[in-house]
Chain A
Amino acid sequence: MRKSLQAFFLIMGRASVFWLGALGVFILSLLVTGLAEPDRTFIEHYADSVFVAAFAFPAGAGLLAGAVIQEFQHTTFATFLPAIRFRLATGFMVTGLLVSLVVVGLIATISSTPHDLAVLFAVGVGAYCLGGILIDPLSGWMTSLNVTLVLAVILSSHQLDLIAGEHPWPTFMMSIGVAAFSVSRLFARATFRRKPFRVTAPLPGRFSLEKTHQYRRHKMIQGGPVKSGWLTGYLGQNMWLWTRAAIHETYGAHVLKTFLKAVARAWPLVPLFLIYAWEDKGEMRFSEALAKSLNDALFRSPFQPQFGEHGGPYPMVMIVIAVAGILTALLSPVALGGALSYPLSRFQRATVQFRGGLADTAILLLIASPCLLAIGHLAGWFVGYEIRFDFMPFFLRVLLLTLVLMPLGYWGRVQLQEATWRKTENKLVGLILGICGFVVLVGFLTLVVTQLFTSPIMELGVLSIAVLVSRMIYWRSLVSFYTTADLA
């Protein structure tokens, strides 16, 4: 037993697992406490906070443990260790039982509503084990089915809670059945056999960047050859062509295909949505309530009415634009480098890097922002709202401020890829803090700018100049960096 636990906990005991766990607990706590507050969302008609807590916390723990085990299975030595399956399964199960016990204990302490704790415990164990196979790096279809199942459980948790109350033993047995199936799948000999030598995306950590590159290259190779006529010719000194080549190298030739494949894999969500779409709980149908919530959150929920005359802050719009901005910057293509040697000077690499950022910005301005507006309005139209534009000044203000600050994200990306932050021990924490910091900064500056300007023309002019100045500073820094630093 000691050796089994040791085998499991030695691969769990690292900083990234701790931070991911802490992040998961934080998010799930928000979800459960949100559900526990009455009349805040329409979801409360569907979800029972106690049942969701009993299900989601163990499922989250199982997801994390399963991810670590699956990462381990993808090494080239794990399969050949004697008794590895038994030892890991023992550690995994002991952890699952403990987590479920703690969650049920907390529910019994905090919740005043009566529940059969033994059933909730079994639900927790089942959820934990299901979490272990929730994401299968080698089977996108299995992952989408599992995610749909989890969503279905959360959306049906109110009913499931009632069923569990009326039929405790069948619920108990069903949960144990799910647990047995999941464990047998996660630790099957065939699972261990097929995982080595398959490249997968790693858990966040010091070496995750290199591994993620390997994974993405692997996926690109899997996509097969592509007819790219422009790539077969000599690119010469045309830096826009080299920028295109950098985008090609970063994302491969199958971006659209990969995106469509990911969308197609989400098909189980369609029947799930259709099942709920016409269900009427309270004042409106599920689909209408969903659309109304989206439109309200984006365009109809001014946070502080006192800013109204200047276009009040709409927190969701602000968060969505700021997050889209920082993610766009962080995911931007990096100047050509890595394994291949290109006939580009350091200055030219800086140019390619800078222009890649311009391409991203164009996507954010011309595609992402109009799409956000269109989706929000479409949702409003679906529930009979009139299209309104009073939030537009605020929308533009946030967008421009995001553009002003985006070079911070680009700079971080370059540092992460090329130099100082490359060997950062815990990139996940840095990434989360960086994204949160960016959103807070955009929010803070939005409030300042809202108070500062009374003339919209003046505001537009100043912010546009700020966008240009920030890009110029970024360009100068980039050239200085690329011409003087040790590159990866």
Chain B
Amino acid sequence: MNPVLEANGLTKRFDRVTALENISFKVSGPTIVGLLGKNGCGKTTLIRQLMGLHLPSEGSVSTLGRPGAELGHDELASIGYVPQEIRLLDWMTVGQHIHYVANFYPRWDGEREQRLLDELEIDTEALVGTLSSGNLQKLAIVLAVCHHPQLLVLDEPVSDLDPIVRRKLLELLLELMRDDAATIVVSSHVLRDVEKVVDRVICLDRGRLVTDAALDELKELYAEWLVVSDNGRLPEEFSESFLIAQQGNGREARLLVKDASTELASFSSTHSVSVSVRPLNLEEIFPVLIGEQL
């Protein structure tokens, strides 16, 4: 099966700035991929490469089996895209705009359109230029999903949405993956939301790919150990190789560990401590992935 998205040694430079460096990955659907990273790490640049807006300086990128720069009618008809910065036709009403865009897609789903308009409470009579940023984001989502895309790319899709709409959007993403067998790429800083839906995490840091793994794997890999001394005194510092970070006050300590589930018993006996393990959520794992520990 051809991968939906594929990057091989992808590098993108803008003048002297290297925005992406030697990025390689494959995504085969259906799945939901979370694209994470700090501001300016290259997420949007990577998305624009995948969408064929930017061309690689080195390496290659393909979307639905074709190079990004050569996406044609069939591929575009199977892609939905919600950019971070949304600019639509301000002078049209919401209804006119949806009608305009619908004309371009052979599989436009009027029922889904109506359901989303109702659920997201979008006024079809309003002029697009008068919409708030949140409503503009909702409209962009409606425009991106009603043609049953095989690939849906969302760049910061929830940044301006209220919690209720965010929840609805997440439900929608799961529905899309289930009903349309879609592959979905979500770039977002709202990691608590992302965590609820993503299967896989791709993390960028300063233009380089630092993590490409299933979310479950990451959750198994990283954990926090809460350590209490059995005899009232902990060493000043633990030196085990699986330790990423540690904080303590002599009697109790919080240890951030990586791939250490098999080491728990020996650690407890060696240091005469009681250890309780707390799994980390994505928001806590993220700083570790980009090298910024607790």
Report which A residues bind B (CB closer than 8 A).
Answer: 3, 6-7, 10-11, 14, 16, 72, 74-77, 79-84, 87, 189, 193, 196-197, 205-207, 210-211
Q: In the complex, how many residues of chain B place their beta carbon closer than 8 angstroms to a beta carbon of chain A?
A: 30
CB pair B73–A193 under 8 Å, yes or no, is no
CB pair A10–B83 under 8 Å, yes or no, is no
Residues of B within 8 A of A14 (CB): 91
CB pair A80–B129 under 8 Å, yes or no, is no
Instruction: Say whether B103 faces chain A, with CB atoms less than 8 Å apart.
Output: yes
CB nearest neighbor in B for A84: B104
Instruction: Say whether B79 faces chain A, with CB atoms less than 8 Å apart.
Output: yes
CB pair B87–A75 under 8 Å, yes or no, is yes
A199 to B39, CA, bound (A): 21
Instruction: Say whether B85 faces chain A, with CB atoms less than 8 Å apart.
Output: yes
A432 to B87, CA, bound (A): 28
Task: Please tell me which one of the listed residues A6, A76, A79, A205 contacts residue B90 in the complex, with CB atoms under 8 A apart.
Answer: A205
A205 to B90, CA, bound (A): 9
Name the distance in Å between A308's Cβ and chain B's nearest Cβ: 52
CB pair B52–A193 under 8 Å, yes or no, is yes
CB pair A72–B81 under 8 Å, yes or no, is no
Instruction: Say whether B86 faces chain A, with CB atoms less than 8 Å apart.
Output: yes
Given contacts A77-B101, A81-B76, A81-B104, contact A193 B69 (CB under 8 A): yes
A14 to B89, CA, bound (A): 11
Contact sample, A vs B, 16 pairs, CB 8 Å cutoff: A3-B103, A11-B100, A75-B87, A75-B88, A75-B89, A76-B83, A77-B81, A79-B53, A80-B51, A80-B76, A82-B74, A82-B105, A87-B104, A189-B69, A196-B53, A197-B48
A76 to B88, CA, bound (A): 7
A3 to B85, CA, bound (A): 28
CB nearest neighbor in B for A10: B100
Name the distance in Å between B142's Cβ and chain A's nearest Cβ: 12
Name the distance in Å between A214's Cβ and chain B's nearest Cβ: 10
Residues of B within 8 A of A211 (CB): 90
Report which B residues bind A (CB closer than 8 A).
Answer: 48, 51-53, 55, 69, 73-74, 76-77, 79, 81, 83, 85-91, 96, 100-101, 103-105, 127, 129, 140, 143
Residues of A within 8 A of B51 (CB): 80
Given contacts A79-B53, A197-B83, contact A11 B76 (CB under 8 A): no
A80 to B105, CA, bound (A): 11
CB nearest neighbor in B for A3: B103
A79 to B74, CA, bound (A): 14
Residues of A within 8 A of B104 (CB): 7, 81-84, 87
Task: Please tell me which one of the listed residues B55, B79, B103, B129 contacts residue A207 in the complex, with CB atoms under 8 A apart.
Answer: B129
CB pair A206–B52 under 8 Å, yes or no, is no
CB pair A82–B83 under 8 Å, yes or no, is no
Identify the interface centre among A84, A193, A211: most chain B CB within 10 Å of its CB.
Answer: A193
Task: Please tell me which one of the listed residues A3, A74, A197 contacts residue B53 in the complex, with CB atoms under 8 A apart.
Answer: A197
Name the distance in Å between A23's Cβ and chain B's nearest Cβ: 18
CB nearest neighbor in A for B83: A76
Residues of A within 8 A of B53 (CB): 79, 193, 196-197
A10 to B98, CA, bound (A): 12
Name the distance in Å between A2's Cβ and chain B's nearest Cβ: 10
Task: Please tell me which one of the listed residues B69, B87, B91, B127 contacts residue A74 in the complex, with CB atoms under 8 A apart.
Answer: B87
Identify the interface centre among A11, A81, A87: most chain B CB within 10 Å of its CB.
Answer: A81
A84 to B77, CA, bound (A): 11
Given contacts A82-B76, A196-B53, contact A72 B105 (CB under 8 A): no
Name the distance in Å between B218's Cβ and chain A's nearest Cβ: 31
Task: Please tell me which one of the listed residues A10, A83, A197 contacts residue B73 in the complex, with CB atoms under 8 A apart.
Answer: A83
Name the distance in Å between A63's Cβ and chain B's nearest Cβ: 19
Residues of B within 8 A of A207 (CB): 90-91, 129
Residues of B within 8 A of A82 (CB): 73-74, 76-77, 104-105
9 closest residue pairs by CB, A with B:
A207-B129, A82-B76, A207-B90, A82-B77, A81-B104, A82-B73, A76-B83, A76-B87, A75-B87
Name the distance in Å between A109's Cβ and chain B's nearest Cβ: 36
CB pair B73–A206 under 8 Å, yes or no, is no
CB nearest neighbor in B for A17: B91
A79 to B69, CA, bound (A): 12
A314 to B212, CA, bound (A): 76
A92 to B91, CA, bound (A): 20
CB pair A76–B73 under 8 Å, yes or no, is no
A10 to B95, CA, bound (A): 13
A81 to B105, CA, bound (A): 8
Residues of B within 8 A of A11 (CB): 89, 100
CB pair A77–B90 under 8 Å, yes or no, is no
CB pair B90–A206 under 8 Å, yes or no, is yes
Residues of B within 8 A of A80 (CB): 51, 76, 79, 81
A87 to B86, CA, bound (A): 23
Name the distance in Å between B120's Cβ and chain A's nearest Cβ: 17
Residues of A within 8 A of B48 (CB): 197
A16 to B89, CA, bound (A): 13
CB pair A7–B103 under 8 Å, yes or no, is yes
Name the distance in Å between A392's Cβ and chain B's nearest Cβ: 48
Residues of A within 8 A of B52 (CB): 193
